[in-house]
Amino acid sequence: MTDERLVGLRVLVVEDEMLVSMLVEDMLADFGCAVVGPAPDFDAAMALANSAEIDAALLDVNVAGRVIFPVADALKARGVPFAFASGYGAAGVEGDHRDAPVLQKPFRQIDLERALTGLVSG
């Protein structure tokens, strides 16, 4: 059973791989979340991070060859919790963001649920 705290949660999805993005969107829909975006590139991600109503975010670390850390900084400034998704796991996260949750790609639905629950709990 899905954690009730996830129902209605507005989640920004930043992912440049269309199939991965669609899979994440399906997972979020199963939790009752509302997908913001998805943002397939850095510029779209930054625009949404600065202006959209967001409760949490899932950020691919490398989006179309650009690191996503400035988007994470924008979210942090707004007080929006986020987790990274990376094929490199925690080793792909740099600088001030090393303490952020990281989902190792590929991840399972239960892993995404735990990460989101941790974001809204913490």
pTM: 0.93
- Measured in whole angstroms, the distance separating CA 37 from the mean position of its chain's CA atoms is 11
> Is residue 122 one of the residues assigned to a domain?
no
Is 121 part of a structural domain of the chain? no
Taking only the tens of pLDDT, the chain with its 122 residues reads 678 889 999 999 999 999 999 999 999 999 999 999 999 999 999 999 999 999 999 999 999 999 999 999 999 999 999 999 988 766 678 778 888 999 999 999 999 999 999 999 96
* Residue 20, domain member (yes or no): yes
In this structure, is residue 36 part of a structural domain?
yes
Q: What is the separation, in whole angstroms, between the first and last Cα of the chain?
A: 20
Please tell me the distance from the alpha carbon of residue 54 to that of residue 85, in angstroms, as a whole number.
Answer: 18
Task: Judge whether 114 lies within some domain.
Answer: no
In a domain, 115, yes or no: no
Give the C-alpha separation, 35 to 94, whole Å.
26
Residue 10, in any domain of the structure: yes
Q: What local confidence, expressed as pLDDT, does residue 61 receive?
A: 93
As for how many domains the chain has, the answer is 1
- Which domain range does residue 74 map to? 4-107
| pLDDT recorded at residue 98 | 86
Question: Which CATH number is 74's domain given?
Answer: 3.40.50.2300
